[in-house]
Amino acid sequence: MSLFQPLSNYTVISRDKVLDLSQPHIMGILNVTPDSFSDGGQFNAIDSALAHAKEMIAAGASIIDIGGESTRPNAQAVATSDEIQRVVPVVKAIRQQLGSIGKDIWLSIDTSNPAVMQAAFDAGADIWNDVRALKRDGAAAMAAKLDIPVMLMHMRGEPTTMNNLAQYDDVIKDVSAELAARIDEVTNVGVKREKIIIDPGFGFAKDYEHHRALLSQLDSLQTLELPMMFGISRKRFLAEVLTKSGVEAVATTQALERDAVGTAAGLFALQQGASIIRTHNVAMMQQAVALWQQLSSYHQG
């Protein structure tokens, strides 16, 4: 496979907006939670969340992913009313206070709760990013009703149990088969296939060796013939990579010290067909994407 193979010609539509996924997009992470693993509590006030969203858009993000409930291992559940109160005011603030930029930017909601997604959609959100792949009661039906693009992530169990379920005969084949089965299940409920974006679920029910295999063979998931979102930013696998490097200076890292290796991982994913790269550090990822796009353009003549 060429390092500069063009991305597949996918688009997704939300209301009257079209997202062209034949070009790479950067999804900036905006956690409005007190307990997310790398930035909990930093952006859970409206002013700070709005300022951070503006900063990420200026740095090159075309999608802002807003999350009101942490999905880190053993995270505490959040009441529906609390999650709505965290997410919806941020959606409204971006739409109302950032002028034309705020109107044009794509807003994704990182939630598994159909009531939260309904409220966020009514406030102006565009995409449903669900780590549980619409498995909660009423979620698939809600996605069909809203006719909204959905990101279906591969995970086994729940954040509290997933680490015990990281056992695969062949992680590439198993992840692909389980995603395919879930795609069939949600389309049978009325979700349109052309609204689906897949997410291989890095950091969820997978160990170090599973991550190595997935990241080196991510292009295998193209057999599903759907656009892909890739999210590994600041996750434990990156810490394990640095620890195993044998370089003492990077052997022990905090989450926000992993942006360089996360950017490299994002570039590998882009080279293997991922259309959307989800990241905490938009500016760094944008530099890598710019290089890839210009070299890709050169190789395509």
Greatest distance between any 2 Cα atoms in the chain: 53
CA 129 remoteness from chain centre:
7
Active-site option among 195, 236, 258, 278: 278
DSSP 164: G
H helix or E strand, kind and range, residue 196: strand 196-199
Which residues does residue 230 pair with via DSSP β-bridges, in sequence order? 277
Give the integer Cα–Cα distance in Å for 237 and 275. Answer: 21
Residues 6+ apart with CB under 8 A from 242: 250, 251, 253, 258, 261
Active-site residue flag, 192: no
Residues 6+ apart with CB under 8 A from 290: none
Active-site option among 132, 235, 236, 258: 235
User: Tokens in use for 15?
Assistant: 């209301």
Active-site residue flag, 244: no
User: Tokens in use for 184?
Assistant: 């069939």
Give the integer Cα–Cα distance in Å for 29 and 268. Answer: 19
- Exposed, middle or buried, 53 (CB in 10 Å: 0-12/13-18/19+)? buried
CA-nearest of 281, 231, 276, 240 to 260 is 281
- Exposed, middle or buried, 58 (CB in 10 Å: 0-12/13-18/19+)? exposed
Catalytic residues: 235, 278
